[in-house]
Amino acid sequence: MIKFENVSKKYPDGTVAVDSLTFEIQQGEFVVLIGPSGCGKTTTLKMINRLIPLTDGTIFLDGKKISEYDIHELRWNIGYVLQQIALFPHMTIEENIAIVPELKKWGRDKIKQRISELMEMVGLDYETYATRKPSELSGGQQQRVGVIRALAADPGIILMDEPFSALDPISREKLQDELLSLKKSLRKTTVFVTHDMQEALKLADRICIMKDGKIVQIGTPHQLITSPANDFVKEFVGGNSEKSVIDIKLEDLLQPVKGNEVEKTSSAKVSVSTPMQEIMENLSQHEQLAIEKDGDLIGYIDRKTVMKHLSTILEKGG
């Protein structure tokens, strides 16, 4: 768990980048920090791993002040992914990923096993890519390596600073999809900075909207869309979004059951007659809902489809 208590950052030139932030991020939660350029997102992120010292207040990790951690222990337990692909160019992909596990003195076999497992998880064949240099990979592949390098030594926390913003839209969407599935399987506490609302809506358990170093609103994507705290949030989330939500129809979102597919046990179930507002609320808790009619499964709705549909509506100015 990460806890901010009245945390402020004033740079030596007098700029107050972060102004008395108080909030908590739960174990396994994926929180996105978003807001206009200069609102203090990166400063907030970098204070967590002490890349930037805070001026006032306290940050706790699992109940202990970050200032009380040994700096190496702190950094090794926090994966960090940057916008610029920060792989070491003279090292192979495997060597790049192995850095922190080696610092933590893991055995060779364990490191190799972990690296091949992670590479496979993001679609990089170990035999093909492990011995390549970063320059022999595409931008998207390099950023995948950046992500799994941050995960390599199984850190408790992952910090991501606009990790996909330098990528082309197609690679970006692919990496977001992969991150979503990593998120489901690994359940890491993650703080993710972006200026892209669609990315935030797609990935976040909760979104923290910042302005002038302060939190304007923090809530689930659903809460921000349906109950924006003010016009700033409303505009940021996509203008007139209340109407968009009301305009969503079940049939636009329903994915039919294919062939003789059996009901997925992990799905929560709702009836086809459930009000849309309630379905959305349910989707804020579950990735996927099974839709039933008279007790029979007629299809599924998943969060990704809803977000995609929503973004289409917003794009059209709905």
Residues that bind ligand ADP (CB under 6 A): 11, 13, 15, 17, 35, 37-43
Q: Which residues contact 168 (CB under 8 A, 6 or more apart)?
A: 139, 140
Least distance between ligand ADP and beta carbon 210 (Å): 7
Q: Using the minimum distance from each CB to ligand ADP, give the nearer residue, 19 or 281.
A: 19
Which long-range CB contacts under 8 A does 233-241 form with residues at least 24 apart? 233/209, 236/34, 236/35, 236/197, 236/209, 237/197, 237/201, 238/197, 238/314, 239/314, 239/317, 240/318, 241/314
Type of residue at 53 = P
Least distance between ligand ADP and beta carbon 209 (Å): 11
Least distance between ligand ADP and beta carbon 191 (Å): 12
Q: Using the minimum distance from each CB to ligand ADP, give the nearer residue, 38 or 53.
A: 38
Taking the C-alpha atoms of residue 297 and residue 91, their distance in angstroms, rounded to an integer, is 52
Q: Using the minimum distance from each CB to ligand ADP, give the nearer residue, 83 or 226.
A: 83
CB 35 within 8 A of CB 24: no
Q: Using the minimum distance from each CB to ligand ADP, give the nearer residue, 13 or 294.
A: 13
> Tokens 């932030």 appear where?
21
Least distance between ligand ADP and beta carbon 178 (Å): 24
User: How far, in whole angstroms, is CA 237 from its chain's centroid?
Assistant: 17
Q: Report the candidate in 75, 60, 3, 10 with the shortest Cα–Cα distance to residue 213.
A: 10
Least distance between ligand ADP and beta carbon 155 (Å): 22
